[in-house]
């Protein structure tokens, strides 16, 4: 695990975008694993600007997002599909048919999860995965648990996650309680991972995930075992290391 500390959010955004752009330049048909939440926004902005300047070309790139709320459709304002469209897909030259987000309206969730894992396999596996981390250590929607999850599955959101994500909804009651999420096994299969963390409020979980015991009680701690994991922190998030 390589840990880099940056001045602020924008500096991390530029640095993480450079890693993703380098991946795409080296392999135009790259398969990228993407995330939602506030953490990737600076990176997505930087990638959109690089694309507008002609520095990176997403024409052949394929993406798989980590997760989607169950019960929300693509056009729901709070769906992760919509988030991705607004914050990245519409701003770069990627083909919409190459952008994969689990279908939160699938009637058969287990079949949707299996099909999602199959699609990742058929695409050749994820080359580079972007990750943020929740205050309870979750990655994707893999919450603290007794064991590490394997593939894409139905995930239950913890109370802490519902509370953290209510800012995107009118009230906490409206936050879906379940989601389809890639598993810890799916994330660990990515050939390389970039974990980005900002802010003092995540300093403690950052220290537990990066330097504490590897345990499913802190799902992000598994990244200590990933052979190619780059961690990008601002000074506040790194303050308890
Ligand atoms: C969400 C997402 C995660 C994300 C995390 C942190 O619930 N499922 O993929 O990394 O919470 O979100 P934020 O970046 O807004 O702090």
* C-alpha span between 160 and 10 (Å, rounded): 27
Q: What is the pLDDT of residue 162?
A: 94
pLDDT tens per residue, range 76-94 = 999 999 999 999 999 999 9
CB atoms within 10 A of CB 201: 11
141 CB under 6 A from ligand 1? yes
Give me the mean pLDDT over the 101-128 stretch.
98
Ligand 1: residue of 134, 142, 186, 219 to mutate (most ligand atoms within 8 A of CB) is 134
pLDDT tens per residue, range 96-108 = 999 999 999 999 9
pLDDT tens per residue, range 182-221 = 999 999 999 999 999 999 999 999 999 999 999 999 999 9
pLDDT tier at 65, thresholds 50, 70, 90: very high
Give me the mean pLDDT over the 145-174 stretch.
94
203 CB under 6 A from ligand 1? no
Kindly give the distance from the C-alpha atom of residue 189 to the centroid of ligand 1, in angstroms, as a whole number.
Answer: 20
161 CB under 6 A from ligand 1? yes
Enumerate the β-bridge partners of residue 181. 67, 153
**pTM, to two decimals:** 0.97
- Inter-axis angle of helices 41-52 and 9-26, nearest 10: 50
**Mean pLDDT, the chain, whole residue set:** 97
Q: What is each CA distance from 102 to 47, 81, 87, 176, in whole angstroms?
A: 23, 8, 17, 15
């Amino acid at each position: 695990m390589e840990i880099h500390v940056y001045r602020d959010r924008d500096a991390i955004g530029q640095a993480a975008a450079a890693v993703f752009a380098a991946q795409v330049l080296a392999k135009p048909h790259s398969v990228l694993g993407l995330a939602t939440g506030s953490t990737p926004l600076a990176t997505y902005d930087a990638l959109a600007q690089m694309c507008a300047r002609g520095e990176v070309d997403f024409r052949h790139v394929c993406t798989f997002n980590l997760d989607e709320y169950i019960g929300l459709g693509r056009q729901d304002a709070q769906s992760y599909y919509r988030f991705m469209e607004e914050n990245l897909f519409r701003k770069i030259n990627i083909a919409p048919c190459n952008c994969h987000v689990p279908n939160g309206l699938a009637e058969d969730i287990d079949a949707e999860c299996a099909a999602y894992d199959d699609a990742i396999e058929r695409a050749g596996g994820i080359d580079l995965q972007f990750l943020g981390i929740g205050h309870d250590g979750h990655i994707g929607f893999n919450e603290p648990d007794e064991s590490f999850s394997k593939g894409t599955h139905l995930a239950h959101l913890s109370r802490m996650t519902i509370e953290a994500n209510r800012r995107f909804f009118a009230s906490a009651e409206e936050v879906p309680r379940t989601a389809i999420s890639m598993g810890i096994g799916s994330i660990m299969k990515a050939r390389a991972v970039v974990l980005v963390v900002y802010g003092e409020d995540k300093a403690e979980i950052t220290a537990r995930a990066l330097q504490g015991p590897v345990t499913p009680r802190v799902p992000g701690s598994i990244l200590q075992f990933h052979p190619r994991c780059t961690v990008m922190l601002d000074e506040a998030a790194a303050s308890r290391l």
